[in-house]
Chain A
Amino acid sequence: MTNPDMFDYPDLNSARIRDEKINTLMTAATGAATLLAVVSVVAFLGFIVLLGGAWLAEEQALSATVGQQHSSNFELLLFGGRELASSGGVLPAIVGTVVLTLLMAVIVAPLGIVVALYLTEYSGGGWPTQLLRIGVQNLAAIPSIIYGVFGLAFFVYVIGGRIDELFYASNLPTPTFGTPGLLWASLTLALLTLPTVIVATEEGLLRIPSSLREGSRALGATRVETIFRVVLPAAAPSILTGIILAVARAAGEVAPLMLVGVVRYAPTLPVSIEAPFLQLEQKFMHLGFYVYDLTMHAPGSEGRVGIVAAASLLLVSVIVSLNIVALLLRVRLRRTYVQSGV
């Protein structure tokens, strides 16, 4: 006999079964997509590491038989093997990439932070601000080669040309700053990554609750004191995230650099141990361009993939190293200034 007080809920039960089915399906689908992404990245890195490593090993064996003094893979990679030697090895390209990226970061960080401060703290947030904000965000969508063209036309010819006329007139018609070089390449990349830094900094600043600003003002702090002592420190992790993204993007750019300072072979490094330490007007080598150049112009077709893979391996390692440094810095900052949960 069935108890009349007991109810059977067939619909409820089937709904639960359907829910569980959907859950299983979603878990499988998202998991599969994640697996695909992970596999692609691993395959890509593995490809570079295996091919590049194989090429290095082969190259070392070859140079040993020929009797050159290259003793380790490391040296080989830095100073060039049989094929790399023609262009002086990758060491100058690594130096060029790192110096360019650091210089870019030094230029873009203060500029981006100041613009973001203006947009969030001072502009008042009316329609001109909104317009400016949309403009900045859209700058990020402009193809990088356009930045290169602008850098060449504006930085190199207009500004560089003026500098030459004013300060280096004795050298003319040979240009000093009026020709592509390290400074112009850094400025061009800084412009390219400016939106990234502005947007990230702005998001960080907007996330700081207004109660913190009020608390500071209520203690007798001025607006500027509040910004420098409370707001900026609390937003530091976000700002650093923006700079990390900017560095990652800048270190991988090649196209605009070809117009504003990168060359296939530079006889001297843009850095030196004597003052002024940095030759801002010099042309320099760059790993990204080096990879491109090897792919297009390396002698022979057999060894081409290997040598390109070896150079790519280096480029990826340099970018990853730069990012790891920034990440460590961010972890330290996070520990100092925990984001408040207010």
Chain B
Amino acid sequence: MDHREALIAASNNRANLNYVAPGIEVQGLSLTYPDEPNALIDINLSIPGGEVTAVIGPSGCGKSTLLRCFNRMNDMLEGCQYSGSITLGDLNILDPMTDVTLLRRRVGMVFQQPNPFPMSIYDNVAYGPRIGGLRRRRDLDEVVENALRLAALWDEVKGQLGKNATVLSLGQQQRLVIARAIAVQPEVLLMDEPASSLDPISTLRIEELIYELKQSYTIVIVTHNMQQAARVSDRTAFLNQGQVVEYDATDKIFTNPSQRATEDYITGRYG
């Protein structure tokens, strides 16, 4: 199956009303690297498909590291070692035989700082599909338009797709990189503090967008902002010093946490 067929199959799949993006199962995950031997310790999480899961915790607790396990971005760190397992549907993510470029097409990522490439808006969104082998202009046009519409950016940029992406506002840039991520039809979207560099109005738009997207994507969001976690997520995991302290429905975590440490953190007595 070539990339174009794969894209079409994925979008047809998504059009099906019963479609639910697969969830992520994390079992006994530990991660070490030379500077931080206990980056993650025995993490067990069952992240449901088609929902938003927030990961909160103090700085340096390992939340970004955990997120980067899901698309193997930690591989780029020197001397990083995993144990345990992470599965996405039938895919064993941590298996050394897993093709990370294919994995990353199923698991997209949005970073803290908007990082559009210094090229046109169109080329930014078309970047992933082109890497995957999509060449025909008509197919690319369709993919770009759909992705920009989904990311609620189409109306603002439709007349100026050839304009350099770096001249957009920060909020628009962040929606652009979300469009870029969903243009390759991933099943999972990882968001690493996606609104922390944005103003309140842009933040609100990103949060609305997350709410829209969760119908067809499994979303894992790392955030420093307690209110944001409470607003956008269905489930919340509280991480501290590389360990999961508590993982439950967001309502439960924010109204009636079972751990003292969780309560201290969300009420601001810690961290």
Contacts and interface: CB of A to CB of B under 8 A. Distances in A.
Contact of B113 (A211, A218, A337, A338): A211
A75 interface: no
Contacts of A219: 104-105, 108, 127-128, 131, 180-181, 184
Given A212-B115, A212-B117, A221 B131 contact: yes
Contacts of B104: 217-220
A211 B117 contact: no
B8 interface: no
A216 B104 CA distance: 10
Contact of B73 (A214, A222, A234, A338): A214
Contacts of B103: 220
B71 A233 contact: no
Nearest to B116: A340
Contacts of B108: 218-219
A197 B181 CA distance: 35
A217 B166 contact: no
A209 B127 CA distance: 18
Nearest to A341: B166
A151 to B, nearest CB: 39
A342 interface: yes
Counting contact residues on chain B (CB < 8 A from A), the size range is 20 to 34
Contacts of B115: 209, 211-212, 214-215, 340, 342
A95 to B, nearest CB: 39
Interface string A320-342: 00000000000000001111111
B102 interface: yes
Interface in B46-79: 71, 73, 76
Contacts of A211: 111, 113, 115
A216 B117 contact: yes
A18 interface: no
Given A218-B71, A220-B132, A230 B117 contact: yes
B101 A338 contact: no
A225 interface: yes
16 contacts: A209-B115, A211-B113, A212-B118, A215-B111, A215-B180, A218-B71, A218-B109, A218-B111, A219-B108, A219-B127, A219-B131, A220-B101, A220-B103, A229-B127, A233-B118, A342-B113
Interface of B: 71, 73, 76, 101-105, 108-109, 111, 113-119, 127-128, 131-132, 164, 166-167, 177, 180-181, 184
